[in-house]
Amino acid sequence: MARKFFVGGNFKMNGTIESIKSIVKNLNDAQLDPNVEVVIAPPALYLLLVREHLKNGIQVAAQNVFDKPNGAYTGEISVAQLKDSGINWSILGHSERRTILKESDEVVASKTKVATEGGVSVIWCCGESLEEREAGETIPVIEKQLAAVAAKIDNWKNVVIAYEPIWAIGTGKVASVEQAQEVHAAIRKWLKANVSEAVAAETRILYGGSVNAKNCKQLAKEEDIDGFLVGGASLKPEFVEIINSNL
């Protein structure tokens, strides 16, 4: 079964009502490849604004979700609240949350378990630092991250994996096509050996790390690259070109 190409747009802590309405209008007016699943993740404050104005066929993700159902957790958003608001996706484990906000592999795994069991699909992120890559530890680091989430979840149908080398996020540096494909293939190999052959075959693995209109077409041709998680370029008109990179 062919894996449906997937493009996510992570706005991070960027945007205003005016600019986000402009991004949404651009997507609504664009001719998008119907064979691509598109999900955009604005800041939490604008989730309902985007959901209200975005055309059918494009989904909306939160940039985070908490692993408790409700209670005294100031500043957090629950799975049930996302579902109540028509938000059916979340990004979890992004390197900025792992490194700046010190979320451990176990915390990310716990959030992934609660989200997927509650009906919110997850773009689950993994990746290595420049120091880890230079030390030849890329695959072991990612396998450790995978093992933590595999210990918590049984159902992978609502999980999309995003490989994001930390050294390439927002830096303008991009892993070479060969580097990206190598890691994607290693992730799929790990899933086959440690989860199941079916999960390895069906799970979509995205590349993230300074993806733009210039490099997306070449990356999209690789066997194990099933789409992109786009950062800064998702705020620009070129996001449409990235969505249509398989045409």
Token digits of residue 34: 């119907």
Tens digits of residue pLDDT in 84-97: 999 999 999 999 99
**Per-residue pLDDT, 1:** 60
Q: Is the torsion defined by CA of 186, 189, 195, 199 positive or negative?
A: positive
What is the average per-residue pLDDT within 229-237?
96
Tell me the C-alpha distance between 205 and 192, whole Å: 13
173 pLDDT more than 90: no
**Per-residue pLDDT, 168:** 85
Mind telling me the catalytic residues? Answer: 94, 164
Average pLDDT for the chain: 96
Q: How far lies 65's CA from each of 112, 118, 178, 202, 208, in Å?
A: 9, 11, 33, 25, 20
Q: Which residues are bridge partners to 9 per DSSP? A: 40, 230
Which domains does the chain carry? 5-243 (3.20.20.70)
What is the average per-residue pLDDT within 26-52?
98
**Per-residue pLDDT, 144:** 98
DSSP code for 3: P
Tell me the C-alpha distance between 65 and 75, whole Å: 10
Predicted TM-score (pTM) of the model is 0.97
